[in-house]
Structure 1
Amino acid sequence: MELIVLWDIDHTLIENSGVSKEIYAAAFTTLAGTGPTGPARTEGRTDRLIMRDMFQREGLSEPDWATIEAALACAGQERLRELSRRGTALPGVRDVLKAASVRDAWVSSVLTGNIAANAHVKVSAFGLDPLLDLAVGAYGADALQRPSLVAVARERAQCLRGVQDDVPVVLVGDTPRDVEAALATGSRIIAVASGVHSREELAAAGASMVLPDLTDTAQVLGILESFAAR
């Protein structure tokens, strides 16, 4: 059975060990000429929202998006080596991505608030990029709000991989916003308590399936198979 599996990146597939916040701060500093007074607020927001929030908090006019995206991409590329040094792929991730990638009827990609360039930096830092079909992913430049990214990924899967429009979509993520995006779009959800949000918080957001992590490959694959069979 066919399936579209869309993985979040930060705190779901990788631990960035603070490098993400440094990327936002560096991009902001490049554009504003001074550093932000506080860290970026992320927690599942898109890069569009994260950067808009930073400029609003500082009382500054927001530059045009193309300029912001370029600054983010530059800051991300500059920190690829640092991310590789300080961060890590989370336990079980490599095995579960490999298992999903070899399912002929599945499309396994990402749905992330990161812009595409920085999403690639983050997964390539740990050699995960060959295990993901990044061309059909949905990224932080594609929409302002996370739920809108689901339609973007579905359309790319249809156009690039010939996936039918009734194929189930599963989101895998660690924040209530991942859960909300799934519920708002009729997608399935596997919530993973590998970030800052507890199993109780994710369940309260509406996730019926909450795992502590992605270490049990057979369990994760079994859940995905059950979604594909519906």
Structure 2
Amino acid sequence: MDLFVLWDIDHTLIENAGVSKDIYAAAFTALSGREPSEPARTEGRTDRLIMRDMFVREGFPVPDWHVIETALAQAGEARLDELRRRGTALPGVQEALKAASAQSGWVSSVLTGNIAANALVKLSAFGLHSLLDLPVGAYGSDTELRPHLVAVARERVRRLRGAPADVPTVLVGDTPRDVEAALSTGSRILAVASGIHTPEELTAAGAAEVLPDLADTKRLLGILESFARHWQRPRTSSNRP
């Protein structure tokens, strides 16, 4: 396998227009019996951390994770039509995902803080789900810390698609937490300044490649192809007599 591309969802592939925070608030209300006093704090964290923080901040005991996950899934499913009405796929995303999925030897999936059910809701709202190999992705239900999701995705693509254990991996995301997850796991990072973080902030976090968004498919593919070549060169030279 030449490249394993893992895309963040919120503010990288789609703009959820506040629906995500509505989902967290609805799940919290369903389990606690009252609305939270302030919106969820997200910024690239996993659903496990986001929801735990809400309960602690509001002074409630934290329910078992499977109870929280069920409430999140129900809240997400109930807001599919609202997401379609308020949100949108970001510029160039359809073309970017189509181009990546068409590359021979590439597997394109997601690495997201969302639970799998809500990742599917968000992607299917804009017809993006069929352009991604979702079974090999990593989700907010898998682990608390975003960097740990990389190992989850690598194990799934190894087991389900026969990728090598050291499969060359690229993360595409809009926050410093995406950058951290890539750099701490030996992955490459393509940062996009389509969320709240500026190109300067993403560069300061360690991203060597930063795009304003995913609108320029040719440039995007060029960067991803350069990452693939980076991994191929050492392997080619090491096989020479």
- TM-score band, normalised by shorter chain: over 0.9
Provide the residue aligned with 2:115 in structure 1: 115
| Cα offset, 1:167, TM superposition | 2.0
Comparing 43-52 and 159-168, the one that deviates more: 159-168
| Cα offset, 1:166, TM superposition | 2.3
Q: Specify the structure having the higher radius of gyration (Cα).
A: 2
Provide the residue aligned with 2:106 in structure 1: 106
TM-score (norm 2): 0.94
Distance in 2, matches of 1:73 and 1:103, equals 32
Q: Percent identity?
A: 74
Provide the residue aligned with 1:37 in structure 2: 37
Distance in 2, matches of 1:68 and 1:104, equals 39
Query: What runs of 5+ residues in structure 1 fail to find an aligned partner?
Result: none
Provide the residue aligned with 1:176 in structure 2: 176
Provide the residue aligned with 1:152 in structure 2: 152
Amino acid at match of 2:215: T
Confirm whether residue 126 of structure 1 aligns to residue 126 of structure 2.
Answer: yes
SS of 1:53's equivalent? helix
TM-score (norm 1): 0.99
Provide the residue aligned with 2:79 in structure 1: 79
Distance in 2, matches of 1:201 and 1:55, equals 30
SS of 1:4's equivalent? strand
Amino acid at match of 2:204: A
Distance in 2, matches of 1:153 and 1:226, equals 22
SS of 2:60's equivalent? coil
Deviation by residue 1:187-208 (Cα, 9 ceiling, x = unmatched): 0000000000000111111111
| Cα offset, 1:164, TM superposition | 1.0
Confirm whether residue 53 of structure 1 aligns to residue 53 of structure 2.
Answer: yes
Deviation by residue 1:66-116 (Cα, 9 ceiling, x = unmatched): 000000000000000000111000000000100001112011000000000
Distance in 1, matches of 2:161 and 2:186, equals 21
Distance in 2, matches of 1:18 and 1:32, equals 21
Provide the residue aligned with 1:162 in structure 2: 162
SS of 1:66's equivalent? helix
Distance in 2, matches of 1:162 and 1:189, equals 23
Provide the residue aligned with 2:202 in structure 1: 202
Provide the residue aligned with 1:216 in structure 2: 216
Query: What runs of 5+ residues in structure 2 fail to find an aligned partner?
Result: 231-241
Distance in 2, matches of 1:36 and 1:48, equals 17
RMSD value, Cα? 0.7
SS of 1:186's equivalent? coil
Moved over 2 A (4+): none
Provide the residue aligned with 1:28 in structure 2: 28
